[in-house]
């Protein structure tokens, strides 16, 4: 595995975060266990010490023995951890209660107010109480205290409980026990925790590698797909099934980008093909006429005719290039449109006045009719003018002398309908579905009218789509055609 790969970094990050969580959680458990064990130990020591004190106090209340006799009995009982055979029944009964506390493994001793050890169990080290008395902050002359005494080979937890005798002197009972069992248990738990954390991290690391590989599988597929993509092959797509939301979004974005690239490449290819195809004819005409003029010396009028013909072809090529560039912008550069609030009826009336003068040259009558006073649309004025000029220019071009052209504006709900009708040559039903194709020309148009670029209706369709509208056409050969544009109106 590469150390600079995303998979390795995710795996390390996952293990690091999991390790920190496990250490914190295990530490809490460890210290909780330690606290519980020590609290439980202190509770047991307190129970034993206070039970011993209670037994002794009860004995003093029921015994006529003097104080010195009691101390001797306590010393003997603690040191032997059993009742002396010479004890009477009362003494034997009281100290049997002490024996029942299972103190054989505990360290028990009694000290005087001056700190002198008066007696202790057989397993009490001689240096325990002196060390206890010397500890800083420990005062056994005030109240019950807990202390931890560190011996060379042991660690003791000791409780010191005051024991008043006849209201004159206050002695102290010390009950201690070794912390070795707790220390061993905690040490064992610590080792188990460390081993468990290491095992869990190793196991989860391999499991994490499996899941990371599955998560990053779409990324690998994207790279494989990207390697397959060339300018000649843009059909490859990344599979998008059973993916997480984020990966699904990424895959959709990549596929969408490939779609845009494919469209862009097709657009460039089509543009190049269209330009080469449409410019080939005028260039061939210009070349043949120029070569013909240069075969021999011509008159001034003949040269002028050739130059005029070449100029016409140049004008045609310029218009063709302009139309192609405009079509490219309309189809692929929507940002060139600047939409604004436009009053449609007034806008169309101005076009009507201008086109009426052009139609008059062919003795064609143009009529403008509307059933509404004002209607507003969101439109790019420049391109919308190009749309209607193209439609009106086609209507004038294909309408014979004395014909009629009508412009009608209606509104239904939130849609404005603009119909441009003519009494021209019409279009065959078989060709109606193709008239909006790029460079398509009908047979009737080729025979009866001057040839155009074949891009007018294609441009019109693109402009209508950009304005979220629709364009429909109805036509009958020999009677004329009607183009209807539907544009959404603005709610005021």
Read off the CATH number of the domain in which 280 is found.
1.10.287
353 with 277, same domain: the answer is no
Chain centroid offset of residue 149 CA: 59
**If you search the block for the tokens 């979004």, which residue do you land on?**
249
CATH number of the structural domain spanning residue 347: 3.30.565.10
Question: Of 185, 201, 220, which residue constitutes the final position of a domain?
Answer: 185
Whole-model pTM? 0.47
Q: How far apart are the first and last CA of the chain?
A: 64
250 and 267 share a domain? Answer: yes
Domain-terminating residue out of 290, 310, 332: 332
Assess if residue 83 is contained within a domain: yes
Q: Check whether residue 267 and residue 401 sit in a common domain.
A: no
Q: Are 97 and 51 in contact (CB under 8 A)?
A: yes
Q: Going by DSSP bridges, is the β-strand pair 376-379/340-343 parallel, antiparallel, or unpaired? A: antiparallel
Q: What are φ and ψ of residue 480, in 5° steps?
A: 125, -175
- Asked, for residue 293, whether it belongs to a domain, the answer is yes
The tens-digit pLDDT sequence of the chain (492 residues) is 566 677 777 778 888 888 899 999 999 999 999 999 999 998 888 888 888 777 777 766 665 555 555 555 555 555 544 444 444 444 444 445 555 555 566 777 777 766 676 666 655 655 565 665 555 434 444 567 888 877 777 788 888 888 766 555 567 788 888 888 899 999 999 999 999 989 988 888 888 777 777 777 777 777 777 777 776 667 777 776 666 677 777 778 878 887 877 777 776 777 677 667 667 777 887 888 888 788 888 888 888 888 888 888 888 778 777 777 777 666 666 666 788 999 998 899 988 888 888 888 888 888 898 888 888 999 888 888 888 988 888 888 888 888 899 999 998 878 999 999 999 888 888 787 778 776 666 655 544 445 555 677 888 888 888 888 999 999 888 888 999 999 999 876
Q: What is the rounded distance in angstroms from the CA atom of residue 181 to the CA atom of residue 198?
A: 26
Q: 178 has which bridge partners?
A: 156
Q: Are residues 163 and 259 in the same domain?
A: no
Same domain for 140 and 30: yes
Q: Is residue 215 part of a domain?
A: no
Shared domain check, 358 and 283: no
Same domain, 410 and 433: yes
Q: Domain boundary at 133, 167, 185, which?
A: 185
How far apart CA 466 and CA 331 sit, in angstroms, is: 8
Whether 353 and 446 share a structural domain: yes
**What's the CATH number where 181 sits?**
3.30.450.20
Q: What is the CA radius of gyration of the chain?
A: 54
Asked whether residue 206 is domain-assigned, the answer is no
Calpha distance 269→447 (Å, rounded): 30
Q: Are residues 326 and 387 in the same domain?
A: no
Q: Is residue 204 situated within a structural domain?
A: no
The total number of structural domains in the chain stands at 3
Crossing angle (nearest 10°) for helices 245-295 and 300-332:
180
292, 302 contact by CB (below 8 A): no
Long-range own/partner contacts, residues 219-222 (CB < 8 A, 24 or more apart)? 219/6, 219/247, 219/250, 222/250, 222/251, 222/254
Question: Would you say residue 65 lies in a domain?
Answer: yes
Does residue 222 lie within any of the structural domains? no
Core vs surface per residue 340-356: b (16+ CB within 10 A) or e: eebebbebbeebbeebb
Same domain, 353 and 310: no
The answer to whether 459 and 371 are in contact (CB under 8 A) is no
Q: Which two tokens stand for residue 209?
A: 């590698």
Instruction: Mark whether 72 and 126 lie in a shared domain.
Output: yes
Half-sphere exposure of 210 (CA within 13 A, CB side): 5
Same-domain check for residues 369 and 461:
yes
DSSP bridge partners of 109 = 120, 174
Task: Tell me whether strands 365-370 and 470-476 are parallel, antiparallel or unpaired.
Answer: unpaired
**Residue-number span of the structural domain to which 312 is assigned:** 245-332
């Amino acid at each position: 595995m590469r150390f600079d790969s995303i998979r390795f970094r995710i795996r390390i990050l996952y293990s690091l975060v999991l390790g920190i969580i496990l250490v914190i959680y295990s530490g809490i458990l460890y210290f909780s266990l330690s606290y519980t064990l020590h609290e439980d130990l202190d509770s047991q020591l307190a129970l034993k010490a206070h039970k011993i004190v209670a037994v002794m106090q009860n004995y003093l209340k029921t015994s006529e023995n003097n104080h010195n006799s009691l101390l001797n009995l306590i010393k003997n009982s603690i040191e032997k951890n059993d009742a002396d055979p010479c004890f009477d029944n009362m003494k034997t009964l009281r100290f049997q209660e002490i024996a029942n506390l299972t103190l054989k493994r505990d360290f028990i001793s009694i000290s005087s107010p001056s700190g002198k050890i008066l007696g202790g169990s057989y397993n009490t080290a001689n240096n325990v109480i002196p060390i206890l008395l010397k500890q800083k902050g420990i005062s056994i002359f005030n109240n019950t205290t807990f202390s931890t005494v560190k011996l060379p080979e042991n660690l003791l937890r000791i409780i010191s409980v005051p024991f008043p005798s006849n209201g004159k002197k206050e002695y102290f009972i010390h009950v201690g026990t070794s912390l070795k069992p707790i220390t061993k248990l905690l040490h064992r738990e610590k080792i188990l925790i460390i081993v468990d954390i290491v095992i869990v991290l190793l196991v989860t690391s391999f499991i994490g590698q499996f899941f990371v590989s599955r998560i990053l599988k779409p990324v690998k597929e994207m790279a494989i797909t990207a390697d397959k993509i060339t300018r000649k092959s843009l059909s490859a797509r990344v599979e998008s099934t059973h993916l997480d939301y984020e990966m699904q979004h990424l895959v959709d974005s990549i596929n969408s980008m490939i779609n845009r690239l494919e469209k862009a490449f097709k657009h460039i290819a089509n543009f190049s093909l269209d330009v080469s195809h449409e410019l080939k004819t005028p260039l061939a005409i210009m070349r043949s006429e120029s070569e013909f003029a240069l075969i021999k010396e011509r008159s001034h009028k003949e040269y002028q005719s050739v130059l005029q013909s070449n100029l016409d072809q140049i004008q045609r090529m310029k218009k063709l290039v302009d139309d192609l560039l405009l079509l490219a912008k309309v189809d692929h550069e929507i940002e060139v449109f600047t939409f604004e609030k436009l009053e449609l009826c007034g806008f169309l009336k101005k076009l009507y006045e201008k086109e009426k003068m052009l139609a008059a040259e062919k003795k064609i009558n143009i009529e403008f009719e509307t059933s509404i006073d004002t209607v507003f649309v969101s439109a790019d004025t420049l391109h919308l003018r190009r749309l209607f000029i193209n439609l009106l220019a086609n209507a004038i071009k294909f309408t014979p002398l004395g014909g009629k052209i009508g412009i009608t504006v209606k509104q239904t709900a939130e849609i404005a309908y603009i119909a441009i009708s003519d009494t021209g040559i019409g279009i065959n039903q078989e060709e109606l579905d193709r008239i909006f194709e790029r460079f398509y020309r009908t047979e009737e148009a080729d025979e009866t009218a001057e040839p155009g670029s074949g891009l007018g209706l294609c441009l019109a369709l693109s402009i209508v789509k950009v304005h979220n509208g629709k364009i429909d056409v109805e036509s009958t050969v020999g009677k004329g055609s009607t183009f209807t544009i539907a544009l959404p109106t603005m709610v005021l």
